[in-house]
Amino acid sequence: MKAVIEGTEQQIENLKKLMEVGTDLPRLRENYYQTENLWCIDDVKGNFDCDDDEAMGVLEDALQNDATMEHIWFAINYHAEEEGLVREDSNNN
């Protein structure tokens, strides 16, 4: 199997770190998880003076924030509709 990985320098570094700890990213991708947009504490620490725990707290809060989730659902819906996909009545997100 051959994979092509694209991303910013920071995203590639994040991916390398995940691979070093043994996370099975190809398997995640095969199970239809989007794994190409990864964030880490260095993304926070690059902009703020904080320790690892503080950075992880910020990252967790930011990614689990209701507004963040709302924007993601908006983007999913927008792009699905742009591709001509038809919304199912049971999915009202």
Read off the pLDDT of residues 12-46 as tens digits, 9 standing for 90 and up.
777 777 777 666 666 666 666 666 677 888 899 99
Neighbours of 41 (CB within 10 A): 19
Over the stretch 51-62, which tens digit does the pLDDT of each residue have? Answer: 999 999 998 899
Q: Considering the domain boundaries, does residue 91 fall inside one?
A: no
Token pair belonging to 6: 């694209």
Q: Considering the domain boundaries, does residue 21 fall inside one?
A: yes
Are 33 and 46 members of one domain? no
Are 23 and 47 members of one domain? no
Prediction pTM value: 0.56
Domain around 67: 40-84
Q: Domain total for the chain?
A: 2
Are 28 and 52 members of one domain? no
Are 51 and 24 members of one domain? no
Are 30 and 44 members of one domain? no
CA angle 72, 80, 15 (to 5 degrees): 50
Residue 86 CA to chain centroid, in angstroms? 25
